[in-house]
Amino acid sequence: MQAKLSLSVLGAALLTAFATDYAIACSSVVVGKNASADGAVIISRNEDYTINNWNKKLVIHPRRDTDKGEMISFKNGLKVTAPQTMLRYTGLMDWNGDTTAADGPYEERGVNEFNVAVSATNSMDINDAAKKADPLVDSGVIEADIPSFVLPMAKSAREAVELLGKTVTEQGAGEGNGILLADTKEAWYMEIGSGHHWIAVRVPQDKYLFVANGMRIHDVNLADHENVLSSPGLADFVAKNKLLDHVDSKRFNFAKAFGSVGDRYNVDREWLGQHMLTPSLAQKVREQQYPLFLTPDRKVSVADIGRVLRANFQGTELAQVKDADRPMGVDRTIETHVFELRADMPKELQVLTWQAFGSPGAAVFMPMYENAMKDVPSALRAGTDVYEGQSAYWAFRADATLAQTNPGKYGPVLAGWQNHLEGAFLQHQSMVDHQLKKLYAQNPQAALAEANQWSNGNVLTAVQSAHDVFQSLMTDMTKSTEKKYTPAELEKIKAL
């Protein structure tokens, strides 16, 4: 990865981002399998927060049978009937998500035993007219709850969309959100636009989708049920409440009907993401809406995803725009995940998660086979919102903080470390996949045990390496505070 892009956490774009008052956040990239470098379906997202310090922990929920009449219940009042069997799934939960102090688990992203992956959510504004026509429901579907009831139940990405949509239709939604859902065959993108209305689109296999915090779905055919799913009576509702001047069900503009298009907070990132992946396409900055799907100039790799989710406006037209103050990976990014879903791998190894903690500009993407993991490394179980030396989040967050004290000096050090370690993970991954696939054919349990050990080892290696960087930076910082003595003063001190 290019150092100038991997240092967004240290650059001028980040410093200007400190001044933003916006609370909603997140940037996402979804890639169809024919548009990705290794044939994987990819969903990825920066999880941005309102404050800098907020730890996350990985949890594994085992498969279990439920009691008759059991409900999956959440703090805001949402209740979903539990299936007869709750599927095994992983979640990346807020550090306090399993306590009564939290608003909900905020598991944010995860994958289940059927290799269904969910990333929820990109927070989105709903316009006043849509809110008035179909008010939000306090006890409805919200970001804090989505993966925690979808992943234990859905056996495909489409089924996940249908389940989530049905729940919004019947029980309502408490927020406007954009949700990524995928399996090894396809990826879907869903937007919740009001108390009971939603839409979802299947990402074309040869294209990608970039999402910020503005609703994106437009120019879709509501009658194309193979590729578009939506709430009942959606077009009629929009027409009745005059949410669009003209309702065209064959080129339906959900984003304009329910959202706020053209907001610089969102379209700047939309332009940048598409500019980076399809630089051959000349587009003006700050258009009201950008194409929903685009073909990349070259097939997209995990390294490309990291480059986009770390990017600032340096070297682009927006660098000269004074109020272009919202790049991708900002300091309040608390984690970034990339799910690669590969149909050519054994079932338990089909999902490869690339996980980073803190702002991705100062962190390393660590690969893990989450469906093969039996153990969660201690670094992904530890920590709160207060600094400590055990968790993965604080290991990377601490390095970013120290590097910001002298970006010109420490930035290249941090970038060199990041590129070296992450580059090694990326370089070796195809070999690891090949070895595990070969071993699985001979002894599945041995392959899964190896994948579990390898995944845990990657986390431990990366965290220890981050601690080593912290030690080096802190040592150098303390040296920099030494007083500079004249030769005469120094001789006098030595003589004392």
Give the model confidence (pLDDT) of 386-417 as tens digits. 999 999 999 999 999 999 999 999 999 999 99
Average pLDDT over residues 351-368: 96
Tokens (6 digits) for 20: 């933003």
Tokens (6 digits) for 110: 């995860």
pLDDT number for residue 12: 34
Q: Which phi-psi region, left, alpha or beta, contains residue 181 (left: φ > 0; alpha: ψ -120 to 50)? A: beta
pLDDT digits (tens, 9 = 90+) for 32-52: 999 999 999 999 999 999 998
Measured N-to-C along each axis, helices 264-277 and 302-309 cross at an angle, to the nearest 10 degrees, of 150
pLDDT digits (tens, 9 = 90+) for 81-123: 999 999 999 999 999 999 998 999 999 999 999 999 999 999 9
In which element (H, E) is residue 337 found? strand 333-341
Q: Rounded to whole angstroms, how far apart are CA atoms 176 and 292?
A: 18
In which element (H, E) is residue 276 found? helix 264-277
Which amino acid makes up residue 344?
D
Number of neighbouring beta carbons within 10 Å of residue 485: 11
Nearest to 47 by CA among 88, 11, 97: 97
Nearest to 243 by CA among 124, 134, 136: 134
Instruction: Report the chain's mean pLDDT, rounded to a whole number.
Output: 94
Average pLDDT over residues 138-153: 98
pLDDT number for residue 5: 31
pLDDT number for residue 24: 62
DSSP at 389: S
pLDDT digits (tens, 9 = 90+) for 50-67: 998 999 999 999 999 999
pLDDT number for residue 475: 96
pLDDT number for residue 23: 43
Which residue in the block uniquely carries the two structure tokens 């939604």? 173
Q: Which residues on neighbouring strands pair with residue 355, listed in sequence order?
A: 337, 366
Tokens (6 digits) for 408: 């010109």
pLDDT number for residue 496: 80
pLDDT digits (tens, 9 = 90+) for 261-318: 999 999 999 999 999 999 999 999 999 999 999 999 999 999 999 999 999 999 999 9
pLDDT number for residue 2: 33
pLDDT digits (tens, 9 = 90+) for 425-473: 999 999 999 999 999 999 999 999 999 999 999 999 999 999 999 999 9
Residue 4 has pLDDT above 50, yes or no: no
Nearest to 193 by CA among 248, 96, 122, 292: 122
pLDDT number for residue 485: 84
Q: What amino acid positions are annotated as catalytic residues?
A: 26
pLDDT number for residue 13: 33
Which amino acid makes up residue 78?
L
Q: Where are the strands (E) in 124-247, listed by range?
A: 177-182, 187-192, 198-202, 208-211, 228-230
Q: Where are the strands (E) in 145-260, listed by range?
A: 177-182, 187-192, 198-202, 208-211, 228-230
pLDDT number for residue 21: 35
Which amino acid makes up residue 261?
V
pLDDT number for residue 484: 84
Q: What are phi and psi of 495, to 5 degrees?
A: -80, -15
The CATH T-level fold of domain 3-401 is Penicillin V Acylase; Chain A (3.60.60)
Query: Are the CB atoms for 1 and 422 separated by under 8 Å?
Result: yes
Query: Are the CB atoms for 5 and 299 separated by under 8 Å?
Result: no
Q: Could you state, in order of their start, the residue ranges of all structural domains in the chain?
A: 3-401
Q: Which phi-psi region, left, alpha or beta, contains residue 17 (left: φ > 0; alpha: ψ -120 to 50)? A: alpha
Q: How many residues does the chain have?
A: 496
DSSP at 362: G
